[in-house]
Every structure is written in structure tokens, then in C-alpha cells.
Structure 1
Amino acid sequence: MGVQEQYPFDVEAVRDDFPILDRKVGGDPETPGQGEGDDTPLVYLDNAATSHTPDPVVDTIADYYRGYNANVHRGIHQLSQEASVAYEEAHDTVADFVGAAGREEIVFTKNATEAMNLVAYAWGLEELGPGDNVVLTEMEHHSSLVTWQQIGKRTGADVRFVEVTDEGRLDMDHAAALIDDDTEMVSVVHVSNALGTINPIRELADLAHDRDALIFADGAQSVPNRPVDVADLDVDFLAFSSHKMCGPTGIGALYGREALLDSMQPYLYGGDMIRRVSFEDSTWEDLPWKFEAGTPSIAQGIGFAAAIDYLDEIGMDRIESHESLLAEYAHDELSALGGVEIYGPPGDDRGGLVAFNVEGVHAHDLSSILNDYGVAIRAGDHCTQPLHDELGISASARASFYVYNTVSEIDALVEAVGEARDLFA
């Protein structure tokens, strides 16, 4: 049976929902889609940075602007009421998607980075102090690493890092040694955006809770492509972003246990997050609104929910199977080329991405050459500069996959990588 015949759903039918995949590239970037040199089919393999948005989600956003565009929670008129209901129900959709108890446990933020900062400022500045520690990992994205690093500097709390093994996995013996009675928070990426490693969140949650510490999971690379249930993982906080899961940019979500969110003070103040204001003091709205100050990202929130409905229709189990198939195939085919070093676990045990380097070719040069073949990948440190330092490299190339990618696109990637390797030989 060919690899294509193992697809867990009709990939071509999915691709029909993404007109951008029909783009030809290679022309003038000042006039996208119109340049005379636009003749190369696009192979988009930069999904870990951002995914594309299907027509049903675009239509949902357009319907909001064309039909009931109004501010929420502030108007008695019909449009405001319709927008408020849709925006609030979007929280319900997100809550159901990750297994939260209800909308009270879902705060809309502008992205996963803001979700992490919300917890770091609203919880960390109040709870951390000298003698406490926060445990991270060496594979953390800068949005987690830098945030807790700076909170540590402000509070005097120590920031520790679980080491990564030569195979790209967490050293769980080291994790058990670092998480101690002074640990207040364990913050760990669920799926590494550089190594593809799928971290044992539940095991880490058990280690944290055994020491009366909290655990924060960065789900930016896991929630879009596999079933994630906060109860099964037993996490206290989870962050993820719409734009990596077929939704619009400008919105993400923070899951937090209701009791924890209820105990935290907001760190953004203004309209809509208050219950009553006097010249002397203010009181806050109920969850989750006390953390959503000002006019929220209404259209984006509604589009976020539409993206979740789209993914649910495909099925998260099937999306996970599809990404695993593509990741293993890409890992094996790139390995077979020769002269390619791949980072992270084996191909049959990783998330839907492959980071690699080609001998004698800088990652940025490789990305530029692949662009000539219409293949869009990422090159750099992928916001994991300390991890790259540990690996002894300045940058890597990264191909990342999603629901609309195909085996033939990976073949195009491998062929282009081979051409680049030979060019620099």
C-alpha cells in the first residue's frame, strides 16, 4: 500500500477549502500573485509558524462584518446582542475543544505568548519570591523562556532548566531532581517547535503536583494537531493560538483552572472587565471577562470557533495520524538523502515537523534555494536560541506539516533539498 493510500481522510477534499494552495510563486513580492515570474506551484511547509485559513472560516468572519458587526457586552440593540452571543459561545467552543469545565476557564488573548505573560504577571509577580523556583526545559520557546526568566529577575525566584538528551527528549531523571519543595511552577512545551518532541505532560504534572507546584503547558504545537484534554493531562494552565489551527491571527486562548483564575488579579485594566467603578476603587467582572479588558478581538474569536468546528469535522485523531504519517515519511526520506542531519526523536515518534541541516549549506541559504522551487520552509533558531546553542548550531531548517499537506509535497521538499546539497558540494 502506498503512503498516499494511508491518508486517514480525503486530503484533496480538504485542500479544496484552501485557495491559497493553488498559488503560483516566484514573481515580484511587491505584487503578490501578479508577478510575471509566478509560475511555480506553492508547497507550503511552514505550518508551525502559521497555518492557512479555509474558506468556511473566512466566510464566518466575513459574515460577522457584513451582518452583525458591533461591540460586545455594551449594547442593548440587536447587533450588539448577536455579536455578544456569538463571541461568548466561541468561548464555549474552545472550552469543549480542550476539555475545560466551561467558558469561565477560557480567556481569549491575542496569542499564546500573551497567555503566558498573563499568568506570569497576574500569578507570578504575586506568588514568586526569593527561595522559590520555576522549572522550564531547554527546549522552551522564547515566549515561555524569556517570560519566566524576566519574572524570575523581578521576583528573585530561581529559573531552572530540565536537560535534553542526545535523542532530543527530556531527561526525566533530571526533571525529578529539579522539581522540589521550593518549585512553584513547572512550565513546559507540549510539542517542541524545533525538535518535534512530544513531551510527557501528565508525568510532569504528577511530579509538579506531588510537590504542590503548578504546571503550565505550552500547547501551541499540540492543540492544533492532536487531541488535547486538560483533565487527562492534569494541567493547571494551557496556552494555544488560533493562527496555527486554521483560524485567524490576533487571537489565542489561555485555559486555567477556575479556582486559580478566580484567585488571580487582572493585569490589564479598562472597560468591560469591571463590575463597578468609583473614584476610589473598582471591582472586577466574573470569569473570564475580568481578564479581557477593552474591546476584544470579536471577529477573531468567532473565527477561532469556526476553525475549531472545521478541525472537529475532520477529526483530531485523524489529523494526528495524518501528521504522524507525514513526519515519519519526511524524516525517512531526508535521512536517506545523505548529508542531512535531523534533530529530535525518530520519525515514528514526533510531532508534525522535521528540523534539519544540510552539510555545507547554511539554513538560510537552504531556505532561499527551496523558495526557488516553490517550497516554503522556516530557517533560523525558531525562537529556541538557547536550544540551538546547546545543539552547537546557529540555525536549522524546519519543514512543518498540516491537514492539507501531501506526500507528493514532501517529495518536492526532498528533491529540492537534494538539489541544494549538490549545488554546494
Structure 2
Amino acid sequence: MKLLLDDAAKRAIRYLESLPDLPVQAPPAAVERLALLDEPLPVATSDPAAVLARLDELITPATMAMAGPRFFGFVIGGSLPVTVAANWLAAAWDQNASMASPTPGVARLEEVAARWLLDVLALPAESAVGFVTGATVANFTALAAARNAVLKRIGWAVEADGLFGAPPIQVVVGDEGHPTLLKSLGMLGLGRSRLVRVPVDRQGRMRAHRLPKFSGPTILCLQAGNVNSGAFDSFAEICPIAREAGAWIHVDGAFGLWARAVPSLAPLARGLELADSWATDAHKWLNVPYDSGIAFVRDADALRAAMSITAEYLPTTGTRRNPCDYTPELSRRARGIEIWAALRQLGREGLVEMIERNCRQARRFAERLAAAGHEILNEVVLNQVVVKFGDDAATRRAIDAIQKDGTCWAGVTVWQGSTAMRISVSSWATTDEDVERSADAMIRCARLA
């Protein structure tokens, strides 16, 4: 076992150390070699060292360098080294983090991580926290509590009676609501086509004066950090209106919620604390490994009612928080470990510095590309830059050339009806030199495309 784990660590370290020099996009030849994986299930048992070697030989060359310093796609960060190390240790512990009694160490760690998150994000201290897989399930978890709570207010118990015959719920979203939010609403039985959609402005912000009249059980979904522009809905204007009408307010803050941790950016999210629930993804801007979504719900009883589980064989005795009462899963890994490690290592000052640096780097991208004659389509208020390289066809050619060049990687998007490239600066590893090198490549590729 020791030799095998030592070998795995050496291979992983070698890969991580190579990232600054790797082409960001996987080379076509490496992708073609993946055909070697299409083999029948072996009959005989294999040597574990040979299995690990084959994994490294075939998959490592075919990876996108998402953990590297010049990946600017999908609004995701890399993983801080301390969180990679904590992840390895967590895998070795192999704790089923469902109950506090059998796994006291990781359960206590999640309690601390939850308290730190509420503090650094300036959310209500009484809120319950669920550690889930990602932003999609964070939205799902918080909205499950919302669905059940608004129906409970009018005497309908979803936990007992389900949705058959239940009174309808009015669900209000912005026209720029993220697809994962809509997916979550669909999974909760709230539909996708029956949603009330509110028009947005040119930055993707919900127009407060176009809000519908709230009637009956209502859930209003707002956004902190538009996935293209980085813009924030006007919480200070909208939340009081919704609260007066008795609506449950949910905020999809997959990456934008982290602006609350930064004094210079917090005004963007002013009034967000008036909501009832929030969702975010620690992989995006806390820079921890995947499987690190977080659901926050002000009414802890509402989240427990929607998520709790009991069975005769489960050790539910004791007064400590049982993690499974706040998430959809019973059996799950201890997701709070890497979040705790990141916050413990960065501290408040380190988190602020990392986020502010990424936002400054996004502004630098916008400056360089605008100076080269390309059109910046958004107000660069956070870490997002949306740029056009001419008409739609020219923009697609430029994006394709940039991705094939390999210096950096940014994705295509459609923003306000125009094809564009979206640059998301979210990684702890990105240096100012990486930004200049990437901007040079973007400008060069766009000129030649």
C-alpha cells in the first residue's frame, strides 16, 4: 500500500508541477489515444501499480489544464495545495460523514467550517449550512426548504403529503437565471416552463420595476454574480418588496456570493443578507477540489424538516449536529474538510487578497483587449470579461484559434444575442504574468483568425 500511495503522490506532484508549461487544451493525439481504454473487462486480477501507471499514461496527457494558471473557462478556480493535501488525507480517513456520533472529528470540523463561512460571508449567524456536491445541489437543497416552508405556511405538509394536490407555488426568476437553478426547480417538481420570468437589463440584472404581483406561496430567485457579466441583482431594492409580500427569497451565488467576503466588493451584494437562503460553490472561488457546494438556509428548522432522516439502525443520539440532516444524501464524504483547510490557511486577509487579485486581473484583460480594438460587452465589476472579436463568425474563429493555440483557454458564450468569449479569472494560481501572456495570445490569435 505504501509503495502504491507514494507512487500516486509522485505522479500527482509531477502533473501539478508541469501545469505552468502545459498547453491548456488537451492535445488531439492524447485524446485519440483514449481509444485504448475501450477494452473488455479483464478476467484476471491486475497489479495495482500497473493499473495506476496505465491511468497516468492515458489520462494525464488528455486532461484540460483546469488546475493551472491560464484556464479561464466555466468560472472555476484551481485547488489550493493545502486543499489537495487535505483531500488526500480525507480520502485516507474514508469517513462516512452522516452522523456526528461515529465520525466526531469530521462532524466537528464541518461545524467549524460552517461557522467560519457564515462569518466571512456576513450571512445570518443562525443559518443552517449543508455541504453538498456543487452549486446545482446547493440550489436544490435550499429550494427544497423553500418549497416546503412556503406550503407549510398555508397548512400543507410536503414531507408527509407530497405535491399531489398541493396548492401551486409562484416561482419568480430573472431572464438570466442560470440553467442549474432551473434544473433544480425542475427536480423539485416546480416546473421549468411555468416559472414567472422577469426581464433583465443589459448587464443581466433583474429589473425591479418589472416584478410581478406576488400572490400565494411564492419563491423569488435572485442572482449574485451573473455567469457572463458578473453583475448582481439589486437586492437592497428587491428584497424588501418580496419580504413585505411574504415571499421566500433565494439567492444563487455560485461564485458571486464570495464578494461578500471582500470589503471593496461587498457593496455589490448590499441587501443580500435579507434573503432566506443562499447557494454557492467553494470550488469556484475558495479554490478547493470539486464536490464542495454549500447551501445556507436562515430557518434551520426548515432545512432540517426538508432533509432529515431517521432509521432504527442510525446512531442519532446525542446533542451534536448530524450532517445528514442538512443534505440530500445519507452516506457522503466529509466535504467540509477542504473548506476548513482553505479558510484556515488563507485566513480572512488571504481570501480577500486572492479575490481582489482575480478581479484586478479581469480588469487588466478588459483593458488589454479594448486597447487592441476588441469590444468589451459587460461592465467588469467582478472577475468576468465578455469580449467580441468582430461579428459572430469572426468571434467564433478567434475563440477557436485561442483554444487551439494552447497558451490559455476561455469559452464561447452568447450574451444579449451576440456570440462572445467569456473570460473568468478565478484561480489562486493565476499571476499577473499569466494575464499578460494570455492577453498577448488572445490578441495575436484574433488578428490571425
TM-score by length of 1: 0.74
* Correspondence for 1:397: 421
* Correspondence for 1:248: 289
* Correspondence for 1:369: 401
Deviation at 1:296, TM superposition (A): 1.9
Superposed CA deviations along residues 98-134 of structure 1, whole A, max 9, x for unmatched, are: 3455586101111111121223345426746666422
Q: Which runs of 5+ in 1 are unaligned?
A: 1-17, 279-284
Q: Distance in 2 between matches of 1:172 and 1:20?
A: 48
Aligned pairs for 1:6-405 (under 5 A) are 19=17, 21-25=19-23, 27=27, 28-30=29-31, 43-46=69-72, 48-66=74-92, 68-72=93-97, 80-100=103-123, 105-124=128-147, 127=150, 132-148=169-185, 154=191, 158-175=194-211, 178=212, 180-182=214-216, 184-227=218-261, 233-244=273-284, 245-259=286-300, 261=302, 264-266=305-307, 273-274=309-310, 289-292=324-327, 293-298=329-334, 300-338=335-373, 340-345=374-379, 347=380, 350-360=381-391, 361=393, 365-381=397-413, 388=415, 391-393=416-418, 395-402=419-426, 403-405=428-430
Change (3 A) 1:325 1:61: same
User: Aligned pairs, how many?
Assistant: 373
Given that 1:250 and 1:297 are in contact with CA atoms closer than 8 Å, whether structure 2 keeps it comes out as: no
Change (3 A) 1:21 1:203: farther
Superposed CA deviations along residues 312-359 of structure 1, whole A, max 9, x for unmatched, are: 354444344323322222222212222x333322x3xx1101122222
Given that 1:135 and 1:187 are in contact with CA atoms closer than 8 Å, whether structure 2 keeps it comes out as: yes
* Correspondence for 2:54: none
Change (3 A) 1:316 1:304: closer
- Three-state SS of the structure 1 residue aligned to 2:433 is helix
Given that 1:205 and 1:234 are in contact with CA atoms closer than 8 Å, whether structure 2 keeps it comes out as: yes
Q: Distance in 2 between matches of 1:230 and 1:171?
A: 16
Change (3 A) 1:205 1:275: farther
Q: Distance in 1 between matches of 2:270 and 2:313?
A: 35
Deviation at 1:235, TM superposition (A): 1.7
Given that 2:122 and 2:273 are in contact with CA atoms closer than 8 Å, whether structure 1 keeps it comes out as: no
Deviation at 1:253, TM superposition (A): 0.8
Higher helix share: 2
Change (3 A) 1:96 1:21: farther
- Three-state SS of the structure 1 residue aligned to 2:423 is strand
- Three-state SS of the structure 2 residue aligned to 1:396 is strand
Deviation at 1:254, TM superposition (A): 0.4
User: Residue type of the partner of 1:53?
Assistant: S
Superposed CA deviations along residues 179-208 of structure 1, whole A, max 9, x for unmatched, are: 534471111110111112133223322221
Change (3 A) 1:184 1:325: same
- Three-state SS of the structure 1 residue aligned to 2:220 is strand
User: Residue type of the partner of 2:220?
Assistant: V
Identity, % of aligned pairs? 16
Given that 2:71 and 2:409 are in contact with CA atoms closer than 8 Å, whether structure 1 keeps it comes out as: yes
Q: Distance in 2 between matches of 1:213 and 1:85?
A: 34
- Three-state SS of the structure 1 residue aligned to 2:429 is coil
Q: Distance in 1 between matches of 2:270 and 2:17?
A: 34
Aligned pairs for 1:402-413 (under 5 A) are 402=426, 403-413=428-438
Superposed CA deviations along residues 240-264 of structure 1, whole A, max 9, x for unmatched, are: 1121121111121100013552574
User: Residue type of the partner of 1:60?
Assistant: A
User: Residue type of the partner of 1:170?
Assistant: M
- Three-state SS of the structure 2 residue aligned to 1:223 is helix
Q: Distance in 1 between matches of 2:195 and 2:241?
A: 17
Change (3 A) 1:321 1:262: closer
User: Residue type of the partner of 1:397?
Assistant: M
1:416 and 2:441 are equivalent in the alignment: yes
User: Residue type of the partner of 2:239?
Assistant: A
Deviation at 1:144, TM superposition (A): 1.2
Change (3 A) 1:21 1:72: same
Superposed CA deviations along residues 131-184 of structure 1, whole A, max 9, x for unmatched, are: 64222112211011343367575599x522222223544323223xx2534471
Deviation at 1:216, TM superposition (A): 0.8
Deviation at 1:231, TM superposition (A): 8.4
TM-score by length of 2: 0.70
Deviation at 1:214, TM superposition (A): 1.5
- Three-state SS of the structure 1 residue aligned to 2:214 is coil
Q: Distance in 2 between matches of 1:73 and 1:234?
A: 30
Q: Distance in 2 between matches of 1:408 and 1:414?
A: 10
Given that 2:120 and 2:260 are in contact with CA atoms closer than 8 Å, whether structure 1 keeps it comes out as: no
- Three-state SS of the structure 1 residue aligned to 2:195 is strand
Q: Distance in 1 between matches of 2:304 and 2:422?
A: 40
